[in-house]
Amino acid sequence: MSTVFIILLVILLIVVGIILIINIGIRFAIFTASTVIDIIKSPASLFFIMCFIVVAILGLLINQKSAGDSSYDRGNDIPVATEYKRTLPENKRTHFNTSETNTPTRETQEEPIYVDETPEYKPIMDFIEEEVPSAEVVYDAQGNKYKTVKIGNQLWMAENLNYRTQDSYCYQDDETNCSKYGRLYTWNAAKMACPSGWHLPSVDEFEALFVVVGGKDFAGKKLKSTRGWKDGYYAHNGDDAFGFSALPAGERVYTGNYSEEGSRAYFWSSTEYESDLAGPMWLSWNGDDAPLYASDKSNGHSVRCLKNSQ
């Protein structure tokens, strides 16, 4: 009996609680409605409420317009480049200052290398400016075809040599890179790679080229292709004013590693400085000049053949 009584008492309490809650809710609703009506009756209160609603609506409209604005220019962004440094042994790479005696000045090379996303490249032929007429076409012994360009009194290949020979390589050992950039040759291989009637240019012949295009300080800008040189915010593409169309093929260092695709180009000359050093032309993404320096003969560089004098 006592259990039944307790259950009934609990049910009664619950019902009373529900009635009280409903009663309080109704009283609160009536009070709120009465307060709102009193506020609305006051002109000053009604004015402030309307101002608040107008401001809120204007704020929503402005926010929506800003969110839908598509005029954002990514060109205002500043990308972050990662900087690395490398130091090569003194007997492996040295810069030199050409002078009347043509004597290299040794110094260990330590230079910053900026790494960015590798740009998408097109085949060599796509980089040659259409408005620059080709003087003639030349084929190597393997049937590879090259456009040429006459600059001053010199007739140059307008593409990097892609003649397969011993001690020549594709960048990263990927054959598709040979289609983009041509092959990278050791110095001894480069001396023997040009087709009959053509030869590896000397430092003097490179310097004669520089004179025609406006001097060594501006030769890089004039000889580099108009696309592909570190594409992005800090790119220094060339204007390819003479149709030389130099591409950033990078290099293969004597250790067998590859580096600097998209950043630099190196073109072997036939000029020898020491038993293990010869002089290529060097083009860089962040410079408009075309320095000549001494490089280890075991490094792999690009080749541009020059037609023999008549």
Measure the CA–CA gap between 92 and 112, rounded to whole angstroms.
17
pLDDT band at 150 (very low <50, low <70, confident <90, very high): very high
Q: Which residue has the higher pLDDT, 100 or 278?
A: 278
Per-residue pLDDT at 46: 64
Coarse DSSP helix, strand, coil percentages of the chain, rounded to the nearest 5 percent: 35, 20, 45
Q: Which residue has the higher pLDDT, 2 or 90?
A: 2
Contacts of 117 (CB under 8 A, 6+ apart): 232
Measure the CA–CA gap between 301 and 260, rounded to whole angstroms.
11
pLDDT band at 141 (very low <50, low <70, confident <90, very high): very high
DSSP 232-284: STT------TTS--B---BEE-TTS-EE-TTTEEEE--S-EEETTEE--EEEE
**CA distances, 235 to each of 82, 83, 223, 238 (Å):** 15, 16, 15, 9
Strand partners, 277: 274, 296
Q: Among 47-56, 96-105, 295-304, whose mean pLDDT is lowest? A: 96-105
51-68 pLDDT tens trace: 777 777 877 777 665 544
SS3 111: strand
